[in-house]
Structure 1
Amino acid sequence: MMIKNKEQTVAVVGAGVIGCSWAAYYAVKGYKVNVSDVKEGYQENARVRISTLAAEIPNTDVEKAMEQVSFFTSIKEAVKGVDLVQENGPERVDIKQQMFADFEGFAPEKALLVSSSSGTVPADLSAKMVAPERALIGHPANPAHLLPVVEICGGQNTPRALVERLEKFYRDCGRVTATLNKPIEGFVINRLQTSLLREAIHLVGEGVVNVKDLDSLFMASLGVRWASIGPFLTGQLGGGEGGFRGITENILSSLFASMGFESISIETLDMLEQQTNQFYPMDKMKAFAKVRDERQKAVLEIQKSHPLPTND
């Protein structure tokens, strides 16, 4: 991967799994990276981990990437003069609150102050800040150096212009952004995967299926589909001429009732129909289906060429 000199500096605060993953990605992309952690003697382990992760990014000159990385034990020194702070500390609100107060005090006024938190909303992060609207969420999927999406979220009073600056920053460094309209605990990715895992645990716990067969079912069905298209486009395609509304009224409504789920209100269904038709027009369904099918075939081929190890 060609490294371009971004002439920008990112502070990665917290050198754990996510922090090192972010540091590797930013370094490969040509940013100067200031890594900081409070753990005594963390530097050597972090250096090895970051270089190992950088090597996983295709076409990377690891030695050149690592020249971009510096290590600090002081947050004050690490965030001095940076363009963005990417916080990756423990999922403890009290620790994050103190760190964001420190960022506000030590980083430049123009710096973007961002948390990789898996679920802490900006209002909680910013409780000790003078300007709480500066606290932002930039939640990556794990591993951050490989999976491209970043969930972005500001607080209730965060100016739209500040959110747009963060969107631009991530897009400029090659990430796919998804901006939430409002904060919610767990954000979107974790709420979706937690809901799925909760049901998987329930099914195994009830003796409906064992762990291995559940994973096999998922990998050969929903895993393939959802690696290709999302659930709403799936519904739009699966509803025939009626689109998402059709599959909801003809199939989902009875499934919801049989499983004891609350039915979808007419107002919600109208909103979903409007959005699915907006983003996935019915006159383009053949084109969407063709892309879905090609992607699904590719995923299945990858699974076949990279089988899981056996238990023998």
Structure 2
Amino acid sequence: MTRPFRTAAVIGAGTIGLSWTALFAAHGLTVQVSDPRPDLEDATDEALAEFAPHLAAQGLDTDGLAGRVHLAADVAEAVRDADVVQENGPERVGFKKELFAQLIREAPGHALLLSSSSAIPATAFSAGLEDAGRVLVGHPFNPPHLMPLVEVVPGERTTEEAVHAAVDFYTAVGRTPVVERQEMPGFVGNRLQSALSREAVYLVQQGVISPEDLDTVVTHSLGIRWSAVGPFLGSHLGGGPGGYRHMSAHIGQSMQQLDLGQPSQDPQDRERVIEAVEKAYAATPYTELAEARDRKQLAVLAALDDVRRTQHDKEN
């Protein structure tokens, strides 16, 4: 590790921020949380209680979890002694510019300043700031205490030392960081998700399939495959002994000829899709759907870890 991380500041205690808080605390960090929401104490207590079983299932010690989490009166107090700051504020460039200017002023000079931004690149909100070399994006998938991926995306002025430190930090808290060397709105994960979502909406709008049946298609085929291998390795294996070259020369050519759809932005067409999704899922409370999702995700992660351990034992 390039530097020690003992204290983390979490700025913004919505769904993502509270998930980060639980994860950081479960890895032994002292966590200072700042958010103007009036129910911050109750929301934090509820989140820690809810996420503790998820963290325990990952082999983490959750005893004393709440004791490592402290609620700060404001941003300045939260970041005063921080080694790393994880920002989880609104997706607005102006907001992030003001906040990161304050973080640079208030946080110690060694503190790493990370943003959970889902789509806005670091350069967009740090270009005019002093000491922007320690500012970069650390974009998780929701919820970060379960989903391993963190997209580490440096801005134009981010130093290599900060990139390495971010990779070390996220690795230390059990995540899988991937460094992306060119800033693009939405980064990689959300761009891939958006591409699939656009075609899914188009197919439902065209009456080809219902929302629940489309979800079944994904969870019973692509979802299973992509949890084990990504698109490129999947295609390489799909080409048989000839690999990706064979796939590209044969099936790949026919796939490239598909005319993918563009969903209608007409309000009535959009409303029909919304109503169809609500008809499929709104009868079940959000908490039940989220709990079922998280149980399944934990089961997948546990199975993948078991395969990795088995493979490691074979190789050693």
TM-score normalised to structure 1 length: 0.78
Change (3 A) 1:15 1:213: same
Between the aligned partners of 1:216 and 1:48, the Cα distance in structure 2 is 32
User: In the alignment, residue 87 of structure 1 is paired with which amino acid?
Assistant: E
Asked whether the equivalents of residues 98 and 128 of structure 1 are also in contact (C-alpha less than 8 Å), the reply is: no
Q: Secondary structure at the match of 2:17?
A: helix
8 Å contact 1:115–1:136 — kept in the other structure? yes
* Match in the other structure for 2:226: 226
Q: In structure 2, what residue type is equivalent to 1:207?
A: G
Counterpart secondary structure, 1:184: coil
How far 1:60 sits from its partner (Å)?
5.1
The total of aligned residue pairs comes to 260
Label 1:12 to 1:241 Cα distance change in 2 as closer, same or farther (>3 A).
same
How far apart are the structure 1 equivalents of 2:128 and 2:105? 11
Counterparts in 2 of 1:7 and 1:64: CA distance versus 1, 3 Å: farther
Q: Is the CA contact 1:7–1:32 (under 8 Å) kept in the aligned structure 2?
A: no
- The residue type paired with residue 219 of structure 2 is M
Encode CA deviations 1:112-170: one digit per residue, 9 max, x unaligned.
00001101101112145212232111111111111111110101232222201111111
Q: Who is 1:161 aligned against? A: 161
The corresponding residue for 1:192 is 192
Q: Whole-Å Cα distance in 2 between the matches of residues 15 and 258 of structure 1?
A: 43
1:17 to 15, 18, 23: 15
Establish whether residue 51 from structure 1 lines up as the match of residue 49 from structure 2. yes
Q: Is the 8 A contact 2:127 2:157 kept in 1?
A: no
State the AA in 1 paired with 2:135.
A
Please state if 1:100 is matched with 2:93.
no
Q: Is the 8 A contact 1:114 1:136 kept in 2?
A: yes
- Answer whether contact 1:149 1:178 (CA < 8 A) is retained: yes
Letter in 2 for 1:180: E
- Aligned-residue sequence identity (percent) comes to 40
Q: Does the 8 Å contact 2:48/2:65 carry over to 1?
A: no
Structure showing greater relative contact order (alpha-carbon pairs closer than 8 Å, 6 or more residues apart): 2
Q: Which runs of 4+ in 1 moved over 3 A?
A: 59-63
State the one-letter code of the partner of 1:245.
R
Whether 1:213 and 2:213 are equivalent positions in the alignment is: yes
> Paired residue for 2:31?
33
Q: Could you tell me how far 1:206 is from its partner in structure 2?
A: 0.7
**Equivalent residue number for residue 116 of structure 1:** 116
Deviates more, 1:247-256 or 1:117-126: 247-256
Residues in 1 aligned to 2:74 and 2:162: alpha-carbon distance in whole angstroms: 26
Verify the 8 A CA contact 1:125 1:135 in the aligned structure 2: no
Quote the offset at 1:182 in angstroms.
Answer: 1.2
Query: Partner of 1:3 in structure 2?
Result: none
Correspondences of 1:117-156 after superposition (within 5 Å): 117-156=117-156
SS at 1:133 equivalent: helix
The residue identity in structure 2 corresponding to 1:203 is L
| Cα distance in 1, alignment partners of residues 214 and 158 from structure 2 | 42
Rounded Cα–Cα distance in structure 2 between residues aligned with 1:61 and 1:177: 22
- Equivalent-residue separation in structure 2 for 1:62 and 1:168 (angstroms): 22
Instruction: Report the residue type matching 2:20 in the other structure.
Output: W
CA RMSD of aligned residues (A): 2.1
Structure 2: which 5+ runs fail to align?
Answer: 262-298, 304-316
Q: Residue 153 of structure 1 contacts residue 183 of structure 1 at CA under 8 Å; is this kept in 2?
A: yes
Q: Is the 8 A contact 2:25 2:69 kept in 1?
A: yes
For the residues of structure 2 that align with 1:7 and 1:190, how far apart are their CA atoms?
28
Distance of 1:101 and 1:179 partners within structure 2: 24
Q: Is the 8 A contact 1:24 1:51 kept in 2?
A: no
Which range moved further: 176-185 or 10-19?
A: 176-185
- Give the conservation status (yes or no) of the 8 Å contact 1:237–1:243: yes
Give the distance between the partners of 1:60 and 1:250, measured in 2 at CA. Answer: 47
Q: Which residue of 1 aligns with 2:266?
A: none
Q: Which residue pairs with 2:76 in the alignment?
A: 76
Deviation sequence 1:227-257 (CA, Å, 0-9, x none): 1111100111111233212211211222212
Match of 1:244 in 2: 244
Residue equivalent to 2:6: 8
Deviations 1:71-116 (A, max 9, x none): 0131111000210000001111111111111110000111000001
Segments of 5+ residues of structure 1 without an aligned counterpart are: 1-5, 262-294, 300-312
